[in-house]
Structures are given as structure tokens and as C-alpha cells.
Amino acid sequence: MRYMSRSGRKAQTSLEALIIMGIIMFGAVVIVPNYISINTGASILSLVRSSAGIACSYLNMGVSVSGGGYNYSSLNALLGSGVKYNLYLNDVRYSEVNGTIYLTVNITNFGAISNVNAVEAGILNFIRAYLVTHSSARIVNGDIVYNGRKVIIGVEVTVE
């Protein structure tokens, strides 16, 4: 019977440890970037959905508020027109092309609105301000950048 020397056993144990660490590191390199990518998309989608819901509720309430930590100026301008809003957030669609995130906010108003484009622009401006205030998003050359990725947001308001 042949016995392995003490240094031979240490070398084998070290080699096994290196192989296990290599497998763990390979898994981390393969899995973590995908997780971070999915996490970025999910978090920006959640932030946009929340801010769009806040904008709809604010306009439906019909009362101007200033201060309070939020920038409601773009929505307050819409309330000044005297229109009675009945907005409903239908959905927020997400897509990603070449590292750019595209989000489309779909809102329905039950009742007449004289200037749909102004409502879309006001809600979009509120969403952009909300993202910059409540997340790591920032405006770079007029574009929203979130976790190093460009985000393009569109708002569509339909009237029924």
C-alpha cells in the first residue's frame, strides 16, 4: 500500500479548492450580469409605473399642491386649464434594443380633453422629474440615464 506524503495531500486539497473556486467564479461571471440587467429593467419599469400612477391620481384629484418634496409644476399647469380629469393608467410597456430601454405609458381618460399633447407632455415631464428625484437616474444631454443605460419614455393618452 502506498501512502501519499503530507505535502501531496495538501497539493491535492489546494487543487480541489482551486477547481471549486473556478466553478463558482465562472458561475458568477455568467449569472450576475444577466441578473443585474433584469434587475435594472424591473426597477425602472416599477419606478415609471409608480410615477405615472401618482400623476394620474394627482390630476384626478384636481387640487394643486406646491412643495412637499415633489415637483408638481408640470401637472399644476394642466390643472390650471379647468379640465376635469378622469385618468386611468392602463399599462406600461417595456422593450430593450441595443442596451436602450424603451418604456411606453398607456393612459386612458374617460371624458373630453382639449389638448391631449399637453397632457402627455405634462405627465412625461413629471415622470422624468420623479425618476431623477427618487432614483439614481440622471439627465445627460436631455436623455434619462439609469444605471448606465439610456431610457426613452413615451406617454400615450387616449380619450374615451
pLDDT band at 35 (very low <50, low <70, confident <90, very high): low
pLDDT digits over 145-159, tens only? 998 899 999 999 999
pLDDT band at 67 (very low <50, low <70, confident <90, very high): low
The per-residue b/e assignment along 102-140, b for 16 or more CB within 10 angstroms, e otherwise, is: ebebbbebeeebeeeebbbbbbbbbbbbbbeeebebeee
pLDDT at 101 over 60: yes
Confirm whether pTM is higher than 0.85.
no
Helices (H), the chain: 6-61, 73-79, 116-134
- What one-character-per-residue DSSP string does 2-15 give? ----HHHHHHHHHH
Q: Which residue has the higher pLDDT, 6 or 144?
A: 144
> Which amino acid, 28?
A
CB atoms within 10 A of CB 78: 22
pLDDT at 36 over 70: no
Distances 145 to 39, 45, 123 between C-alpha atoms, Å = 15, 14, 19
pLDDT band at 41 (very low <50, low <70, confident <90, very high): confident
The per-residue b/e assignment along 14-47, b for 16 or more CB within 10 angstroms, e otherwise, is: eeeeeeeeeeeeeeeeeeeeeeeeeebbeebeeb
Please, what is the average pLDDT of the chain?
85
Question: Residue 93's pLDDT is what?
Answer: 95
pLDDT at 1 over 60: no
pLDDT at 4 over 60: no
In the chain, the percentage of residues whose pLDDT exceeds 90 is 49
Question: Residue 52's pLDDT is what?
Answer: 95
